[in-house]
Amino acid sequence: MELTTVAVLVGLALVDSTSIGTLVIPLVWLLRPGPVAWRPLLTFLATVAAMYTALGAVLLLVGQSLASVLDGLGDVDAVRWVQLVLGVALFAAAFSDAVMGRLAGGALRWRDRLRGDDIEARRSIVVTAAVAVALELPTMLPYLAAIGVLAATDLAVGAQVGLLGGYAVVMVLPALVLAVARAAAGRVVHAPLQRLDAWLTRQADEMTGWVFGIVGFLLAGDAAQALELFGA
């Protein structure tokens, strides 16, 4: 596999690392007074990484089976038309404040519940991670793009799943770096983390919109070119 492919995967993983599930929700524990709550934080991040890897493995297997069927039928254009419609829909959705607000708001509300002391806040960390991943399903666009990159390689499925595991580790790495900085610097980094948390919360809708718009444009453009809609 070429280094450029690895670089693309790392870049997509770093984009994914700024999502609500991989960065904003972990700040719940980093912004608490006192020592870093390592156990819930690591359990949460490990569960998120494992779920992304498992989901990606399933998508790779399903995608390969679907591709074999379509190749046998010679129905490649149908897939491209579906890709075109999906890309246009994602691009259009990026301009809907209501849609973006609803997607981002669901995960933010769940994050806020973790800061309380009620029964909701004491639920299993594994369940919390599962809900966070589920809420982000509609916005997994960089991750889906990474799966597409891996599917296009000639690597065995086992190697592709292994790379997905590495992708998931890169996704949660920034949160781990912040946790180490929080533990080492204590109060020095507490104020910057609070500002980062506030900024991410304010920009959640806009960041989701940018991801939708960029990925939608790329999907639609690639499909239009493959279908030769604008000439050879």
pLDDT of the chain along its 232 residues, tens only? Answer: 567 778 888 888 888 888 777 887 887 778 766 678 787 788 889 989 999 899 888 888 776 554 454 444 444 567 678 778 888 888 888 888 777 777 677 666 666 666 555 555 556 677 777 877 876 766 677 887 888 788 777 788 788 888 889 999 999 999 999 899 888 887 777 778 778 777 877 777 777 777 778 878 877 887 788 777 876 5
pTM of the model: 0.62
Distance CA 111, CA 132 (A): 9
Per-residue pLDDT, 66: 47
Distances in Å between the Cα of 225 and the Cα atoms of 2, 93, 132, 214, 221 are 24, 22, 35, 16, 6
Per-residue pLDDT, 73: 41
User: How many Å separate Cα 75 from the centre of its chain?
Assistant: 30
Per-residue pLDDT, 33: 62
Q: Angle 33-112-118 (CA atoms, 0-180°, nearest 5)?
A: 80
116-139 b/e (C-beta count within 10 Å ≥ 16 → b): eeeeeeeeebeebbebbbebbeeb
* Residue the block writes with tokens 């995608």: 63
Per-residue pLDDT, 117: 52
- The candidate with the shortest Cα–Cα distance to 59, out of 132, 138, 150, is 150
In this structure, what token pair is assigned to residue 74?
Answer: 């010679």
- The candidate with the shortest Cα–Cα distance to 212, out of 98, 82, 95, 104, is 95
- The candidate with the shortest Cα–Cα distance to 158, out of 57, 55, 50, is 57
